[in-house]
A and B are shown apart, each in its own frame.
Chain A
Amino acid sequence: MEKLSGSEMVVRSLEDEGVEFIFGYPGGAVLHIYDALFKSKKIPHILVRHEQAATHAADGYARATGKPGVVLVTSGPGATNAITGVATAYMDSIPMVVLSGQVATHLIGEDAFQETDMIGVSRPIVKHSFQVRHAEDIPITIKKAFHIASTGRPGPVVIDIPKDLTKPEDLFEYSYPKSVKMRSYSPASRGHLGQIKKASRLLLGAKRPVIYAGGGVILGRSSDLLKELAEYLNFPVTNTLMGLGSFPASSAQFLGMLGMHGFYEANMAMHNSDVILAIGVRFDDRVTNSVDKFCPGAQIIHIDIDPASISKTVTADVPIVGEVRTVLVEILKQLKEETDKNSCSARKGSLDDWWHQIEMWRKENGLWTDRRYPNSDQIMPQQVIECLNRVTGSDAFVTSDVGQHQMFAAQYYRFDKANRWINSGGLGTMGFGLPAAMGVQLAFPNEIVVCVTGEGSIQMNIQELSTCTQYNLPIKIVNLRNNYLGMVRQWQDMQYEGRHAMSTYEDSLPDFTKLVSSYGHVGFEIKELSDLEDIMEEAFSIKDKLVFLDIFVDPAEHVYPMHVAPNGAMNDMWLSKSKRT
């Protein structure tokens, strides 16, 4: 058998696992590993400018490809810098393996230089973690980490590796395990047949049904089945922020996003429904508004791979624990068994009233049926996203940061495919967008990758413009420049009588076009609506360079609809600054 050092085993295990990129940053505790990586040369390593960006880039890669992202950081500050990205991935159930260096075993616990208890610090935000105790355990530990990160409900896994275990001079027999079995880890796969039958009957009897589908459909690669099911039943579909793209926006059955900034027709349909089929969602507080007023007349079928997500906030009438794919296959089979063709078309007719009602809601206040934002002599942020959607043919990978621009992107970009909308939904991490876009662009070098951002968020990881230069990443950055921490300002307008406490930068913003050009990128400023489409076209025609579009938008605009909170129901919404449901 081949003999390798600990650091060589780390690198070889990652190679044998099929890892395509490592996102990382070197430092003392991982130098042996970096040396082994340098010698092997098989896996490209992307040197970020801050470890937080390494985790976001790995995360973006994972969201776009479905494969686990891989991060390598040093001990102490390297590990703690990575934490925000680990927490971001954890909240959105993104598969990721983070290798962190650790001080040598004999120094652990002595407050040695650059020692941080990474296992302890990351504990509440990882799916699992390992500290390697013996060098010979490195291959099996890495195998387990990938297995845990990418199966069941995915999530980040940390492997903490003390430096002495990676010494080049100590050699061990190497073989990479083909599979692992862990007695304490066996995620559910098939749903309970009795429950599935019950669900099918409920679905067939529904008069005012809605399918409420989330990120779980994307993680479970089941958008094809979601479409088949929705079309078979002729049910309307709404997506969570995390689920956008799992159902085609171009379908007439799509109601748009639901929740705090969800579409009027989506929130109304949910509130008035009699049966909700919830798939891969978690009844997040940003969706439900007040739980005790949530969808009073609805029976809820909830499919999720994680039993702890079911009945956590809203009680499910028919809980189904299982892999979304296998469950949807079963449900479709059951439905087809229980309906012959005739009764099926008769039943479809029985939804006419419901569809009629939905059309009314759409006509009244739908974001896609008419212009719902005010006239202004400035560019409106919504117009920017509408323009982006046209110029990129609804087919780009769009990452975003956090704030108003994120909500406008979610509302106005029309995602037809899964894995294309990449944003920090659960943690809401400003600074996510640019590094996430790097991970996506590396995975798909020939695709259009856009980062929709705001001047607040982009400055949280702006140093990554340098990484984009080093690796020639032709990302298109669309900066909705409103000169405020816009979402903060919106809340201050609505809840604090317009007192804009610390939400403005007071003329301290850089000239972004000059800033990006100093990195070798291209920058354009857009101030007039009449220039918007032309300059955007020009930006996207530049295939080989990063382009930064600094677009001056109306700073006073708010995101609507917006749930009335606290104590509101799904159907309690602000529709504009003056109009309420």
Chain B
Amino acid sequence: MAELSVIESIRTTLWEEMKRDPSVIVLGEDIGQRGGVFLATQGFLEEFGATRVIDTPLAEASIMGVALGASFNGLRPIPEVQFSDFIWPGLNQIIGEASKTSYGSNGQLNAPMVIRIPYGGGIRGGLYHSQNVESYFFHTPGLKICAPSTPYDAKGLLKSAIRDNNPVIFLEHKKTYRLVRGEVPDQDYSIPIGKADIKRSGQDITVISYGLMLHYCLEAAKLLEDKKVDSEIIDLMSLRPLDIPTIVESVKKTGKLIIVHEDNITGGVGAEIAAMVSDLAFDYLDGPIKRICGPDIPTMPFAKSLEDAYLPNTQSIYDGILELSQY
């Protein structure tokens, strides 16, 4: 057992999987000699060589297309998008192609690839280094999506993602990379994709989140103990498949639901959860379903004041939970 940061956990997991399975390759911009801009693949080139650690041209469509084609032919490629904000040129290969591989061939062909995406803000990244891209994939049948919030979960989910025979979007919140540390067992373990985790159990109100925001939710819940509000915090961990049973069961217990995400509010993950809960647990609700999310502007601006104003934080989540709990 070691205490690792999220990025260290990802790096060791990638390393272990590349050691275990020679069909795993990594490719992307600056991932070789430099070890990736976040150092997720530091030392990999020396260990695994240039055939399995490929510094690609600066061209996202081909990073994704080449990875996809290689996944048709015996490999398990892990393309890295340098920043989520630069995934758009590669989107056709993910949304247009990878997601349809199995369905479009009636199950003949499959695409075992993991697309690693450093995403999210709160790091003064401005409009082009802060984006939340999850809802575009969330809307796409045929993709699985992981969004871990802790080093432990990152390892378990990344193992599952790499061993999965379908395309998996693996979202890594940039701000958690070094900020969030935790115990990570040395041994091999995996966390099933599609299972949420109750990070704090409570009786009064259900709060659903993922990624960086999950930590703010936990902080807010702790502070609310003084107010005798007992919050249940669900970490989705996987956005697709969505763990509906865990969500519904929790709401049936608490009767109240808040969804917190950094992504824009309209058409985000929270909107879908709200719709589903109102369908499946309407009779159990004791109040409106609330969302605390990024507002509908492209993403958080660069200026500190504006970035802060965009992001949900411990205080705004605290206020939201308190208000709904008194409804």
**Does B associate with A?**
no
Listed in ascending order, the chain B residues whose CB lies under 8 Å from chain A are: none
